[in-house]
Amino acid sequence: MSPSLKTMLFPFYHKPLRLPTPPEWALSPSLSLTLTHLAFTTKQSRRPRLSLEAKTAKAVEYQREKDALIAAGTAKKIDTDDQPQILNYGTNQCLAKQGAAIKAAEEKQAKHEKYLAQKAKHKQERESRLLRKRHARGEASLEDYLRR
């Protein structure tokens, strides 16, 4: 870019950037101490935020302790009946909703496990077919074919 084009596009390009000077009261040491004090004493949050790794480690540690207590027999697994109910909603409705949600989750888990088993079966069948084809073409040895 030529200098004339720069001054055309940016009319203040050639002028140095000047920052405004702060007023006298802003430079007083007592005010800066007060501002520093306020910056460090303002209520930000009750406790420091944990990183994702710290949260994960804490959750894993808690789960291990819980599993150890369950294995030792000193604690029992948490059942849905032991959960506190929402009183203003109606205990029966709340229990029904919890039961329905648990049943839906179990069905979903069973369906997923069935899908994974079927997927593994199909994969095994496909590998077996491919190995048979390779053996028929002479690419795979008989040991490979029988090993499957």
Q: What digits encode the pLDDT tens for the residues 41-83?
A: 555 555 667 677 777 777 788 888 877 777 776 655 555 455 5
Q: What pLDDT does 115 receive?
A: 96
Answer whether 102's CB lies under 8 Å from 109's CB.
Answer: no
Nearest-angstrom CA–CA distance, 99 and 105? 10
In a domain, 129, yes or no: yes
In a domain, 77, yes or no: no
Nearest-angstrom CA–CA distance, 138 and 132? 10
In a domain, 80, yes or no: no
In a domain, 139, yes or no: yes
In a domain, 12, yes or no: no
In a domain, 100, yes or no: no
Structure tokens at 145: 């074919």
Nearest-angstrom CA–CA distance, 11 and 137? 79
As for how many domains the chain has, the answer is: 1
In a domain, 2, yes or no: no
Span 89-120, pLDDT tens digits: 455 666 677 778 888 889 999 999 999 999 99
- Which domain does 120 fall in, by range? 113-147
In a domain, 40, yes or no: no
